[in-house]
Chain A
Amino acid sequence: MAVDHFPVEASHILMFARAIGDTNPIYHDESHAAGTEVGSIIAPPTFAQASAQFDPDYFLRPKAGQKWFGSGGTASGIIGGEKKEASNSEGEEKESGSAAGGLHAEQHFTYHRHLKPGDVLTAETKPGESWEKESKRAGVLKFSESITEYRDQSGKLVVTARGVGVVTEKVIEQ
């Protein structure tokens, strides 16, 4: 992932804070924020993840004119068209959950400073380590790590993110 232009905007911070149920005025009320130690609206700690909005190739966003792997007339616009057995007979394993591109296993943020409206960030992602683990509930787990560095308009490192994704061999037993 490479994001060339991630403008941090007050309205986006407001919507993000609402989505995580955070009514803290530091995320939406300029006059309140002006009287606090931080001095301005800031973004919640996990906001950097919303850089996905500004990644032109982000694969988990439908794009105009392209097929989408979620449902329309059929259960997936890409993967087959047939309905799978909703409930398999006992003891039979369901197919892999990897159709969805895997699951999020870990996320870490190191804050050099907190993001605020007016920042214009770039983000560069590099692959990290990869490893495998055996799990009773989901078969072989394939983990892969990525490191993303967010820099501000002056080129200064502001947030370092480390994500770990996992692709499971089969659907996780509930």
Chain B
Amino acid sequence: MSLNASEIKVGDSYSELIVEDLTRTQIVQYAGASGDYNPVHSDEKFVTEVAGYPTVFAHGMLTMGMTGRMITNYVGDGRLTYYGVRFVNQVWPGDTLTARAEIAGIREEDGETLVDLTISTTNQDENFVLTGNATARTS
């Protein structure tokens, strides 16, 4: 599956619920897979008593990874040429996140049609946790 350039237009959008009630266990699972064992993500004692946060929080890269799943479901596998984000708010256990892509531009480059996407992920309070951009090859 990929986006067909003749069937899309600027302003089209796609969104997915990417996680419902994020668990501490999934954060631990991400730590193990990614190799980032920063105790702020899994160690309640450290994060509350030393780092000073109310509880553990998700790796930004977990939110970027889950948001990436929405993007690849939209643009197809192996189609991304760029994906970049800012982490604008922390993501906490219990959060429910929705990720959205909107077509910001469609352009030709080196004989290919590329689609530029504006990306955002919001939590259950409709606060942004991630904003960014992606570019994908269309067919």
- What residues of chain A have their CB less than 8 Å away from a CB belonging to chain B? 12, 15-16, 18-22, 24, 26, 36-38, 42, 44-46, 49-53, 58, 60-62, 68-71, 75-76, 79-80, 83-84, 86, 94-97, 99-101, 103-111, 114, 162, 171-172, 174
Contacts and interface: CB of A to CB of B under 8 A. Distances in A.
A19 B71 contact: no
Contact of A52 (B34, B66, B80): B34
B87 A106 contact: yes
A70 B53 contact: no
A171 B36 contact: no
A44 B30 contact: no
A146 B26 CA distance: 27
Given A24-B73, A36-B77, A45-B68, A106 B33 contact: no
What does DSSP make chain A's interface, helix, strand, loop or mixed?
A: loop
A20 B62 contact: yes
B38 A21 contact: no
B46 A70 contact: yes
Given A52-B35, A70-B43, A110-B82, A100 B51 contact: yes
Given A21-B18, A86-B48, A97-B52, A42 B36 contact: no
A12 B33 CA distance: 7
8 contacts: A24-B77, A60-B38, A61-B36, A86-B48, A99-B50, A100-B38, A106-B84, A110-B81
Given A19-B65, A42-B78, A104-B60, A83 B84 contact: no
B61 A107 contact: yes
A105 B86 contact: yes
A26 B77 CA distance: 7
Given A71-B50, A103-B60, 19 more contacts: A15-B33, A16-B34, A18-B29, A19-B26, A19-B34, A20-B62, A20-B65, A21-B19, A22-B65, A46-B65, A52-B36, A61-B35, A69-B46, A70-B39, A71-B43, A86-B49, A94-B52, A95-B52, A108-B84
Contacts of A84: 49-50, 52
Interface string B80-111: 11111111001000000000000000000000
Contacts of B37: 60-62, 70
B33 A69 contact: no
B118 interface: no
